[in-house]
Amino acid sequence: NAGVMQNPRHLVRRRGQEARLRCSPMKGHSHVYWYRQLPEEGLKFMVYLQKENIIDESGMPKERFSAEFPKEGPSILRIQQVVRGDSAAYFCASSSSERTEAFFGQGTRLTVV
């Protein structure tokens, strides 16, 4: 049973470009979460999705960031017009229900140059 799969593991973008981060949840999990870990800071919640629905996006910056979890395929976190401050590790997690433990992927490390 494969774990949470994230790709790419490392992503380098120039300022102003778009970044697309992908996450395939564990088999049987329909709840997906995205967290961001800035250098020397803790993990911060960004967004919670179920299939085709955004349940909680209270941690997502209002501009340039969007997330989706389509009926088919992985969840996507999209960052438009990236800036240096977006450089961070982005982690995806999945769970089988709202109240059970979430399992994390290995993260995508975004570097904006």
Partner 1 sequence: EDQVTQSPEALRLQEGESSSLNCSYTVSGLRGLFWYRQDPGKGPEFLFTLYSAGEEKEKERLKATLTKKESFLHITAPKPEDSATYLCAVQAGTSGSRLTFGEGTQLTVNP
Comparing CB distances to partner 1, the nearer of 37 and 66 is 37
Comparing CB distances to partner 1, the nearer of 14 and 42 is 42
Using DSSP's 3-state secondary structure scheme, residue 104 falls into: strand
Using DSSP's 3-state secondary structure scheme, residue 64 falls into: coil
Return the residue of 67, 77, 102, 112 that touches partner 1, per CB under 8 A. Answer: 102
> How big is the CA angle at 44 (ends 15 and 109), to the nearest 5 degrees?
40
Comparing CB distances to partner 1, the nearer of 41 and 72 is 41
- Binding status of residue 5 toward partner 1 by CB under 8 A: no
Comparing CB distances to partner 1, the nearer of 35 and 86 is 35
Residues 6+ positions from 103 with CB-CB distance below 8 Å: 3, 4, 26, 29, 93, 94, 95
- Give rounded-to-5 percent helix, strand, coil for the chain: 5, 50, 50
* Residues 20-49 contacting partner 1, CB under 8 A: 31, 33, 35, 41-45, 48
Residues lying near partner 1 in the complex (CB under 8 A): 4, 6, 31, 33, 35, 41-45, 48, 55-56, 58-59, 91, 95, 98-107
